[in-house]
Amino acid sequence: MLTGRHLIAGDWVMGEATFASQPASGEAHDFSVGTPAHVDRAARAAEEAFWSFSSLTREARARFLERIAAEIEVRGAEITEIGHQETGLPTARLEGERGRTVGQLRLFASHIRKGDYLDRRHDAALPDRAPLPRPELTLIQRPIGPVAVFGASNFPLAFSVAGGDTASALAAGCPVVVKGHSAHPGTGELVAQAIDAAIKAEGLHPGVFSLIQGGRRDVGEALVKHPLIRAVGFTGSLVGGRALFDLCAQRPDPIPFFGELGSVNPMFLLPSALKARGGDLAKGWAGSLTMGAGQFCTNPGIAVVIDGPDAEAFVAAAREAVGAVSAQTMLTDGIAAAYRDGQRRIAAGRGVREVLVTSCDLRTATPYLYEVSAADWLADHALAEEVFGPLGLIVRARDADEMERIARSLQGQLTCTLHMDAADTDHARNLLPILERKAGRIIANGFPTGVEVADAMVHGGPYPASTNFGHTSVGTMAIRRWLRPVCYQNLPTDLIPESA
């Protein structure tokens, strides 16, 4: 049952102002608007909770994560219902995303039980070493303190209130303050109710988790600038993320900002693969490009081909496959408007030609397909900017050298894809060193939508794909963002943390 309130340190708190949700279907609900005062209360409670939460045994934190997962499952039907109403996402997609959300909570529980993430290192003392003795040194990773998390618009569960940022921070021993996304406040509240129930069941300090709903820009600014917040996790737009990143850097005590900001996820279709299975690749691309109305950070917006008859056949097949996709509801009116703006920008780009032009309005999205020569694409940097929605751009290169020029010109990406057959190996070998410098994940003969939550996954990349290329927001390595190494020199063994 929705309250429309914030959850701050175990209390469901009203605000003076409210905002109404804007569901794709069903009735709207009123929610309290967050304020900097709410931020201050939540951050102070998180700091108070840090002392006990960070010193819990790994087993106790693992049980807490598993309890959150179980409480979310108890509310599963209710979460799916409100999530579908608020976002317009199909119930099957929401149920799958809920499975991913509870799965990553349980994955982090398993991960911290193993203890490998602590990266323990020990150098024994060498008191007789000449010319100077060596002290005994022990290194261990320790939690950094309260973490701020910004919920994502496009993943109401897996990247939001109890998503990967929250799960990994809690696993590390860091209390979390979440700024919920106004696109799905009801979904966020129900998940927060599950976390609150888990906190009470495990007897933890209530400041371990808080959710602040809505709020204007001043709430986000207050959160990243609060002196008790020690790091920020963010998934969202380049403009919004860069503004918060700059605020983190301008603090008297700068803190890390782990932001995922945008990517066009280019695919390189190499000649032999294009010739042998261009039609199948076009169908696969259409499915990936239009999945979820193209509202995925890994949406493959650009396909690079070498011009010729095989490219012509690919374009024709892509036109047919993309054209068969019906209109879809987008997450918010604002996202739909931004998609239309992006479509107009691409259509007006240098040398851009129409392949498939449709018509969309209000909150719906229909797919668009364009093509452009590599020379024109290289001369117009706006064509390499993300369009959040089901719009594809085919870039025609003259030859392999021009395809490599395209790869070298790319900004940082979450993914780059090589579609290749055995005969393309030499070409792929030349591209691979370039793409390694551009993306966090290199895919062969697949499509980037769908990010496995696993030990080896990297969901990040050079700027602007993310603000810190050395980390990932998906997979167990995500926990490293909320830890820092501490070296203990000659400290008695019974004082060194063992269960962090």
Average pLDDT over residues 87-110: 97
CA angle 208, 256, 247 (to 5 degrees): 100
Measured CA to CA in angstroms, residue 470 lies from 466, 467, 473, 475, 478 at distances of: 9, 9, 11, 13, 10
* Spatial contact of 465 and 440, defined as CB atoms under 8 Å apart: yes
Whether the predicted model's global pTM rises above the 0.85 cut:
yes
Q: Residue 393: which H helix or E strand, with range?
A: strand 391-397
* Spatial contact of 243 and 236, defined as CB atoms under 8 Å apart: no
Cα–Cα distance, 100 to 121 (Å, whole number): 33
The pair of structure tokens assigned to 45 is 């409670």
Query: How would you classify the pairing of strands 137-143 and 121-123?
Result: antiparallel
pLDDT in tens, 186-208: 999 999 999 999 999 999 999 99
pLDDT in tens, 121-173: 999 999 999 999 999 999 999 999 999 999 999 999 999 999 999 999 999 99
- Burial pattern 171-207, b for ≥16 Cβ within 10 A else e, equals bbbbbbbbbbbbbbbbbbbbbbbbbbbbbeebebbbb
pLDDT recorded at residue 469: 87
Max Cα-Cα span within the chain: 80
Query: How would you classify the pairing of strands 413-419 and 439-444?
Result: parallel
Share the mean pLDDT of the chain: 96
Q: Is 297 assigned a catalytic role?
A: yes
Q: Which residue has the higher pLDDT, 432 or 358?
A: 432
462: preceding bond cis by omega (within 30 degrees): no
pLDDT at position 499 over 80: no
Q: Helices 271-290 and 309-323, interaxial angle, to 10°? A: 20
pLDDT in tens, 443-469: 999 999 989 999 999 999 999 999 988
* Spatial contact of 473 and 258, defined as CB atoms under 8 Å apart: yes
pLDDT in tens, 345-356: 999 999 999 999
Average pLDDT over residues 10-14: 97
Cα–Cα distance, 432 to 176 (Å, whole number): 38
pLDDT recorded at residue 500: 42
pLDDT recorded at residue 214: 85
Give bridge partners of residue 444 from the DSSP assignment. 418
% of the chain with per-residue pLDDT over 90: 95
Q: Which one of 47, 66, 260, 386 is the catalytic residue?
A: 260
pLDDT recorded at residue 398: 98
The pair of structure tokens assigned to 487 is 């070296």
Cα–Cα distance, 1 to 31 (Å, whole number): 13
pLDDT in tens, 202-249: 999 999 999 999 878 999 999 999 999 999 999 999 999 999 999 999
pLDDT at position 392 over 50: yes
* Sign of the alpha-carbon torsion through 108, 234, 328, 345: negative
Cα–Cα distance, 244 to 27 (Å, whole number): 33
Sheet holding 137-143, edge to edge: 121-123, 137-143, 483-489
pLDDT in tens, 79-93: 999 999 999 999 999
Nearest residue to 161 (alpha-carbon basis) of 6, 12, 298? 6
Q: Is 71 assigned a catalytic role?
A: no
Q: Residue 304: which H helix or E strand, with range?
A: strand 302-306
